Amino acid sequence: MKGTGEATPLADFLAKALALVRPLPPVDIDMTQSTGSVLAENAVNPGPLPAFDYAAIDGYACNGDDIAGASPERGVGLKVLGDLAASSWRPVRLVSGTCFSVAAGAALPVGADMVVPLAWTDEGMATVDVRQVPRRGHGVRRMGSERPSGEILAHEGRRVTPNLIGLLAAAGIADVVVRPTPRVVVIATGDELVDTGRPSQPGQLIDVNSHLVTAAASEAGAHAYRVGICDDEPDALRSVLDDQILRADLVITTGGTGLGPGDMVRRTFSRDGAVDFNPVAVYLCETMGFGTIGPEEVPVVCLPGDPVAATIAFEVIARPLIQRLAGAEPVFRPSVRANLTEPVSSPSGLREFRPVRVAERRGGGYTVAPLGATSYTLSGLAEATGLMTIGENATRVPAGSTVDVLLLDRNR
């Protein structure tokens, strides 16, 4: 796809990119390995939860009719038929005037409708004196009271969390069908780049992007692999891609997307015609590319070389693609409506995603404060908790205006 030179609205660019990306094929994996993945089908409860009536507390399992009228002044005595541990499996039954000493988790005797806490008794062994009557059902978990058999425990598209794993384990589910975690390869290009760990000299720039974008991809839920720095040579880039493409579900490059003589990424991919480098109407990120490469048609996103521009481009293009590959919905970060504390200006004809600080108000709602001169610096990005969205036609936004803000401190 050849560029036309006319800026493409972000919504159109993103829609085309998302249309070319499909969620990864589902896999059946061990539940404990699924944290962070997205369910590819509903998780259905195979049986009632709990699976049987059991004692929720330590105490004495009895029938409320046998202890009616018990009080601290006048206790009611019951014969203790035995002790039931959580591992006890033989079914037992109460008869009138009897009880069982039970541990939390023990199956409830037939005929019991409550568990009297130890503190409400004299803690007797052969017989027990009950001195306070709980409500029926106290200390008891009934079969199916939490979730009935056949109920959907988690719907397709939900991300697996540790707490959800706890619920699935309690239901007896060992394996789940999920979308695999997307594998993302990150490549920074530029002869001027040097690795971290030493100060840069004239003619050198520290490679910020590959570290920053790899971390951002990991935060987005991907298995991110940092290739590092690739020289401004078409053959070098093709060699790196040939090595990495089989392990990647998405390739992200940074740098080399402009029209200058050293913009190797654009020149290399343009020869194949598989990557679209049309200008995109996004402030600071006007030179981005998207397409597919190789026989497997692996998606590739080409981000600008400026670290701040690369970060914003990652948020508005690459991050949604990672979410789409993972089968997650929605593909965007959570957003809120917030009141702007100071007026801001914005370039005409470009959608702006400005780094800002977001704060919750005591009475509810949010405020958003611009970062001033540091907005588009790495220092500003490190302080920002949101990206304020300003439309293409808004050149000035007064203080007090209500604006949309993507929350950077919330992944999902």
pLDDT of 400 reads 95
Most distant pair of Cα atoms in the chain: their distance: 97
Q: Which residues of the chain have pLDDT under 70?
A: 1-5, 259-262, 410-412
Q: Which numeric CATH code is attached to 10-24+180-326?
A: 3.40.980.10
User: What is the reported pLDDT for 411?
Assistant: 58
Instruction: Give the integer Cα–Cα distance in Å for 100 and 288.
Output: 72
Q: Is 373 exposed, middle or buried (0-12, 13-18, 19+ CB in 10 A)?
A: exposed
pLDDT in tens, 298-343: 999 999 999 999 999 999 999 999 999 999 988 999 999 999 999 9
Q: DSSP letter for 229, please.
A: E
275 burial (CB, 10 Å; 0-12 / 13-18 / 19+) is buried
Phi and psi based region of residue 349 (left: phi greater than 0; alpha: psi -120 to 50; beta: remaining): left
Place domain 54-141 in its CATH homologous superfamily. Molybdopterin biosynthesis moea protein, domain 3. (2.170.190.11)
b/e per residue 286-295 (b: at least 16 CB within 10 A):
bbbbbbebbe
Determine the Cα–Cα distance for residues 11 and 33; give it in Å rounded to an integer: 35
User: For the structural domain made of 335-407, what CATH number should be given?
Assistant: 2.40.340.10
Phi, psi for 110 (deg, rounded to 5): -60, 130
What are the sequence ranges of the domains in the chain?
A: 10-24+180-326, 27-49+145-179, 54-141, 335-407
CATH of 27-49+145-179, one of 3.40.50.300, 3.40.50.2000, 3.90.105.10, 3.40.50.1220: 3.90.105.10
What amino acid occupies position 208? V
pTM of the full predicted structure? 0.84
Taking the C-alpha atoms of residue 386 and residue 355, their distance in angstroms, rounded to an integer, is 6
DSSP 321: H
Smallest CA-to-CA distance from 136 within 65, 210, 214 is with 65
Query: CA-CA distance, 229 to 186, in Å (whole number)?
Result: 9
Summarised one tens digit per residue, pLDDT across range 178-229 is 999 999 999 999 888 888 887 777 878 889 999 999 999 999 999 999 998 9
